[in-house]
Amino acid sequence: MKRLFAMLLSLALLAVLFSGCASQSVTEEPPAAAETTPAETPAEPSETVSSVQDGTYTGTAKGYGGEVTVSVTVSNSRIAAVEVLSHSETAGISDAAFATLPNAIVEYQSIAVDTVAGCTFASTAILEAAKEALLSAGFTEAEISIVPEKAAASSEKITKTADVVVVGAGGAGMTAAATAAQNGASVIILEKMPSIGGNTIVAGSGFNAADPERQKQLTMTEAQRTLIQSYLDLEPQNELMAQWQKNIRKDLEAYDAAGSTYLYDSADLHKLMTYSGGDYLAKAELVDTLCDNAYASYQWLTELGATWEEGIAAGLGAVWPRSHTATSAFGSSGGNFIIPQKQVVDAHNGEILLSYTAKELIVQDGRVIGVSGVTADGTEFEITANNGVVLATGGFAANVELRQRVNTIWPDLGKNVPTTNPSSSTGDGILMAEAIGANLVGMEYIQLIAIGQPDITPLIDNTISVNQDGLRFVREDGRRDEICFATLEQPGQYFYYIYDAHMIVDILGGKNTHGLIIDDIVDDKTLFKADTLEELAEKMNIPADTLLNTVNEFNSYVEAGGGDPLGRSTFSQKLEKGPFYSVQARVRVHYTMGGVEIDEEARVLDTNSDVIEGLYAAGEVTGGIHGSNRLGGNAIADIITFGRIAGNSVSK
């Protein structure tokens, strides 16, 4: 792991950073930032300060994953070097802070440097630790807190040209860029953050795709067979849906004739569940395209180097076990959906421009020919595309004003409702496309998720959800909106996920979504661990007898393969293998289903349903793929599948 982190950090130091630097989903305020307000008329630090002693000093501060320790070398009463000695932050998420802040402190002889956008926890920890070390060396706070003067913006506009310009360096953008590069196109990627990754780098790692080989290792329960039948009994909404149902019936006839018992799945069942799971409000043609190509997208990503946990599971809100769980081989699970594509872009001499904020799409004679905007220092840029522009700027879950404006479903989506998304998820690409006449669809459909803090990958398997009384209150394999509405009805609007070692150790390998060792982040405040269920209940302050009875009832449904009065159909193993864990879960804004309308070739459509020449889109910036509710695990399948389609379309 250390060697992997060193490799990633080296890449970051080469100035093409791939971390999402996202603010992890939190309910607590981040650690207090280093004090950077100078005196009214600060004096420049003198060349020699009598109280400062040369030498090497260390300081420690709390980051997201634990303590961050920094060493500071002082020579001739000046800061000569700053080095991060140890930390528990997630590689691939906070690397930009570690790569840039130590050098900035040395360059400006101050801890009053700007934090790295999105890397709140890591940045604050580095600055606090450096401050502690410098104070122990004899510096005064005023001497190390002088605010550096910012470089003035260049008056000369930056201009560049490539065959393909991609706006956004998250999973969809990196996939589109890698695909276009593989097709021989020259590529420029614009990213407003100081590192790549976007929302994808902090993703929960589930990738939905019907996978006959993995699913044949599982046995289909009677409850699951009944669930399939309930989908076949639905009234067809159109010819496509009727065809999906017809194909599934034919498959099941052959399945029964062969005496099969494995877990059945197919692209058509994936389509039917996705379409009905979004209340038939998705564009059926896009659902067809997504599910037909999901497994090929999974294979493509695997060929590029993505790695996966053994077996297959059901992610939270997935409604069926078809979720492939990424490992943390690239520092975090989300790294699997970013780093392999970046390596392709690098190999084909693609250019990644960080801290480039796109403001407008350039249109000439009705065709999109490029993008204009500003860099971090305010310098204007204009990037021209020979073939076209791909919008991959993500959704707007972090844009409180926009989500409140379009919300018609949830009681409140104001600033008091946190988001799992990074601060960069503000819907920029949606607004840019709308400004040139693109059609927006489904903007009111905003998905919430009930997720723990600290976050543990929310797979279903043998996980259960209990309220403060120790009782299950919702089927854990239900839709996300169903689970969230039920959560908001609980006292305090929270509940607890209950896990055992089968999930934490056997499936997750002891690590959470961000690559943190779960045992290291147990705090007995919101994340608990105990050898027995009785001890776990005591730590959670819920009735032990009730929790034991709840678990025993659940285990009886596992044995029977069904019979749950709440309607759960996904059962794997009993919840009985110690140690046991629980994490408090609350509702957060997670995904925005609405956005720019596209066709099956990822071409953006205008308000008259005509193609806007030269403009393509992929990922959460688009709408119409998931309808009113996205199934858990479908987002990664979406961004990779339509990212590849956009990359192929624009490079033709």
C-alpha separations of 367 from 161, 292, 311, 611 in Å: 16, 30, 46, 10
- As given in the structure block, the two tokens for residue 633 are 């695990």
Q: Which of these, 383, 9, 17, lies nearest to 188 by C-alpha position?
A: 383
Residues 6+ apart with CB under 8 A from 193: 20, 21, 117, 118, 169, 354, 355, 422, 424
Window from 17-31, 160-174, 253-267 with minimum mean pLDDT: 17-31
Q: Which of these, 533, 428, 398, lies nearest to 120 by C-alpha position?
A: 398
- Cα gap 324→209, rounded to integer Å: 8
- Cα gap 455→258, rounded to integer Å: 42
Q: Note whether 380 and 158 are within 8 A (CB).
A: yes
Model confidence band, residue 92 (pLDDT cutoffs 50, 70, 90)? low
pLDDT tens figures, 445-492: 999 999 887 778 667 788 999 999 999 999 999 889 999 999 999 999
- The proportion of the chain whose per-residue pLDDT surpasses 90, expressed as a percent, equals 70
Amino acid at 587: V
Amino acid at 380: E
Cis peptide upstream of residue 579 (ω within 30 degrees of 0) = yes
Beta bridge partners of 528: 582
pLDDT tens figures, 204-243: 778 999 998 999 999 999 999 999 999 999 999 999 999 9
pLDDT tens figures, 279-308: 999 999 999 999 999 999 999 999 999 999
Kindly tell me the burial class for residue 442, based on how many C-beta atoms sit within 10 Å of its own C-beta (0-12, 13-18, 19 or more): buried
How, if at all, do strands 595-597 and 440-441 pair? antiparallel
Domain ranges of the chain: 2-38+53-137
The per-residue pLDDT for 230 is: 97
In the block, tokens 């209340």 appear at: 279
- Cα gap 171→70, rounded to integer Å: 32
Residue 141 has pLDDT above 70, yes or no: yes
Residue 30 has pLDDT above 60, yes or no: no
Residues 6+ apart with CB under 8 A from 647: 164, 175, 176, 177, 178, 179, 180, 182, 183, 390
- As given in the structure block, the two tokens for residue 457 are 């990958």
Residues assigned a catalytic role: 480
Q: Which of these, 377, 431, 437, 371, lies nearest to 399 by C-alpha position?
A: 431
C-alpha separations of 513 from 204, 314, 449 in Å: 6, 15, 15
Domain 2-38+53-137 has CATH 3.90.1010.20: yes
H helix or E strand, kind and range, residue 81: strand 78-86
Q: Note whether 504 and 577 are within 8 A (CB).
A: no
Can you say whether residue 108 is alpha, beta or left, with left for phi > 0 and alpha for psi between -120 and 50 degrees? alpha
Q: Note whether 617 and 190 are within 8 A (CB).
A: no
From the CB of residue 48, how many other CB atoms can be counted at a distance below 10 Å?
A: 9
User: What's the predicted TM-score (pTM) here?
Assistant: 0.81
State residue 603 phi and psi, 5-degree precision.
-85, 135
Terminal CA-to-CA distance of the chain, rounded, Å?
40
Q: Note whether 632 and 315 are within 8 A (CB).
A: yes
DSSP 497-558: EEE-HIIIIIITTTB-TTS-BHHHH--SSSEEEESSHHHHHHHHTS-HHHHHHHHHHHHHHH
The per-residue pLDDT for 15 is: 35
Residue 22 has pLDDT above 70, yes or no: no
- As given in the structure block, the two tokens for residue 450 are 């009930």
